[in-house]
Amino acid sequence: MNLKLLIIYGMVMSCTMAILACSDSNGSFVSNVNSIGENFIGEKDPIVLDEINHTMTIYRFKSENRCVVEDDKYEFVVHKDTSQVYREYKFLGDTLVLLYRDGDNTYGQVLVGGKGGQIKSKWKMTACHYIHKNNSVDCSGLINTDEVIKGSTVYFDITQDTLYMSRIDSKGNAIDINTPEIDEFNDYTASRYMSVIFHSIDAVLQFSDWYGGLAFYSYPWPWSDVFNFCNCDIEKEALQRNITVTSRDKNKISFIANNKNVEMEFTHALHLLYSRGQYVEIDVTVKTDEGVCTLNYVHDPNMIPEVCNAENSSSLEISTYLDHDYIVLFNGAKDYHIGDEEKFRSCIVGLVRR
């Protein structure tokens, strides 16, 4: 996914999530598909409209998979919750603006296509946002305001007591509102991932054993960003770090570092972008004359029962989760990973330093 598209997706989904909290036990949610007509596919939430004061209260029923850890005991829990979201709205001519706060500022998600002055209508989401302090709408830097997420369009159909949310692809087909986006960027050797690899190798070679190792391990290792467009000349960046790229295609790159001939190949890669997180699969091999390093890695933002146990503790990043009032919700994990990336990193360091 190129950087501009990723920014758009993030902005749209964050604005959408400012209205609705979207997550369930499998990362997607489809309910009552026949609620509006026989062909409705999407989700619906009860609402309370106050058309006099221009407010809307939305009630969301959601579930979240958790691995709760207490006193060295692991328990898989499907946490169900009902949230209440209060939103003010306003009209700019025939445009509907759903207001939300971000810090000290007020913004708004911009929707079009409905009846001006009538919130009870069918509205199309745009990638524009309203800026309250300027009383203006900003659509700058967007690819296409009608095609918010890769050619699909999100609709809000608002009635007196229900908010229906649906998504239509470029061919007019209804799809699950939370269907993940499959990354279209497949030039893995020109990704941000390679930039991090080169930085890490350079740090290890330039500094002492202690500092070099520290620099390598502390620098962000963006598994979730592995396919993001680097927006750089990868060969030029390599040279800046005393690394020479000798050949490269989308899946395989050869370079010289510390007088070592290194080959790196992505044999499998998958990146899915959900509203609640990013799913990553990556199989990568690094070879020199001194040896081979391999990694088979999976990161899943959705916890599953099979992983929630002491035997898989290395696959879990146990954290303490707090609510907005800093009250402890639970201690445990919401996601998991499979694959020993630390061992893989150590292996790369060993190959280039021999």
Concatenated DSSP letters for 271-297? EEEETTEEEEEEEEEEEETTEEEEEEE
Looking at the DSSP assignment, which residues form a beta bridge with residue 328?
A: 322
Return per-residue pLDDT of the chain as tens, 354 residues. 333 333 333 334 434 444 443 333 333 333 333 346 556 678 889 999 999 999 999 998 888 899 999 999 999 999 988 888 899 999 999 999 999 888 888 999 999 999 889 999 999 988 888 999 988 898 875 544 444 455 678 899 999 999 998 888 778 888 777 777 776 677 888 887 788 788 878 877 776 444 444 444 444 444 555 556 666 789 998 999 899 999 999 999 999 999 999 999 999 888 887 766 788 888 999 999 999 999 998 889 899 999 999 999 999 989 999 987 889 999 999 999 988 877 887 788 789 887
CB distance 169 to 19 below 8 Å: no
> Rounded to an integer, what is the distance from CA 328 to the centroid of its chain?
25
Looking at the DSSP assignment, which residues form a beta bridge with residue 300?
A: 336
Dihedral sign from CA coordinates of 328, 330, 335, 339: positive
List the domain boundaries for the chain: 3-179, 188-353
CB distance 11 to 127 below 8 Å: yes
User: Looking at the whole model, is its pTM more than 0.75?
Assistant: no
Q: Could you give the CA distance from residue 187 to residue 138 in angstroms, rounded to a whole number?
A: 32
